[in-house]
Each structure stands twice: as C-alpha cells, then as structure tokens.
Amino acid sequence: MGPGEVLGMFSKYSGGDWQVVFVSQDGGPAKSFLGSRVMADHSFADCPELDVIVVPGGFGTRPESQNPKMVAFLEEQGKRAQFVTSVCTGAMLLHSAGFLEGRRATTHWGAIAELKGLGGDVTVVDDERWVQDGNVITAAGVSAGIDMSLYLVSLLKDAATAQRVQQMMEYYPKPPVFEAVKA
C-alpha cells in the first residue's frame, strides 16, 4: 500500500506521463493478509507492457512464488521493464522469477533466513532498508518500501519531484519513543 501511495501521488503530478495500475491473475480483486482489497485494472492476459513492476510482500508471497502463471507473468513483464522492484517478502517472487540471480537483495528482517535458504547466487543483505542492483530494487518492509518508492521516483524523474511527492504525502518519519511500562 505504501509504494502505491507514493507512485499514485507521483502519477498525479506527472502531467499524464505516468499511470499506476494494479494487476491480478484473473483481473479480479486481490485481498491482503490483513483484509484490504485492491481492485485490479488488468489481468495477466490483458496487461499492457509495464515500465515499472512493484511486487508487494506479505504471507501470500510464499504460495504465489510457486504459482507458474505468476512467475511466468513476472518473467515476461520484467524482461522489458525499466525497473523490477519488491517490498518485503515480494523478494521471494523476484527470486522465483530469476531476477535476484547474481544480485544483492533484501527482504523483511523476519524473512532474511528464508530468502537465504532459497539458494541460488543471490547475496542477501540484512543491514540496508533497500538495495538497488542494476534495475532490480528490493525493500525490507512497509516503511522501507515507501522510502524505496520515493527513491524510485527520483530515478524515474528527479530528486525535486521525489521531494514534492514526499511533501504532498507529508511523509517525514519521526517514530514515537516508547517508554517501558512499569508493572
């Protein structure tokens, strides 16, 4: 959801140069692990060529990384995309589609060992919020996905546009400081 907001805001200020679309296998709605529903704009069959791919994370990535239709769709679209990206455990899907071979990548801290365990020639990084290796960018988790998406906007357009998107979202992370509760 975070990268969707960043890229959606970017598309609003791009003067029509960029458009965000959501894709599902059959073109129907997708439901997240936490219950949010996203309406798809396209199915795999009618999806136009994508310039940027953002693969979301979550618990659904494990079974989808074994879905031959999903993997084939990512492989085919990713060959022509300017950037192929993932948030959180979306890196598992990029691994299945072959995009992490010979590259550095990251994922959610709770899935680092799992990504390492998938094998192949991928260097799994556990101390960076997002990792760019060529045209593949992987982000650790939700807030890292927002940060990665703002960085992506700077690559697609420029730093001033990324700063404007950040300002419009009023995204200036200042996490609260939690005090220990005394019993």
* Residue-wise pLDDT tens digits, 134-155: 999 999 999 999 999 999 999 9
Residue 180 lies in a domain: no
Domains contained in the chain, number = 1
The pTM for the full model equals: 0.92
- The alpha carbon dihedral of 72, 73, 77, 83 has a sign of negative
**From CA 26, how far away is CA 105, in angstroms rounded?**
29
* CATH code assigned at 54: 3.40.50.880
Per-residue pLDDT, 61: 87
Per-residue pLDDT, 166: 95
CA atoms within 13 A on the CB side of 42: 13
Residue 155 lies in a domain: yes
* Residue-wise pLDDT tens digits, 72-92: 999 999 999 999 999 999 999
Residue 178 lies in a domain: no
Residue 181 lies in a domain: no
Per-residue pLDDT, 93: 96
Domain span at residue 124 reads 2-169
In which residue ranges of the chain is pLDDT below 50?
A: none
Residue 69 lies in a domain: yes
Residue 175 lies in a domain: no
Q: Which residues are designated catalytic?
A: 88
Residue 152 lies in a domain: yes
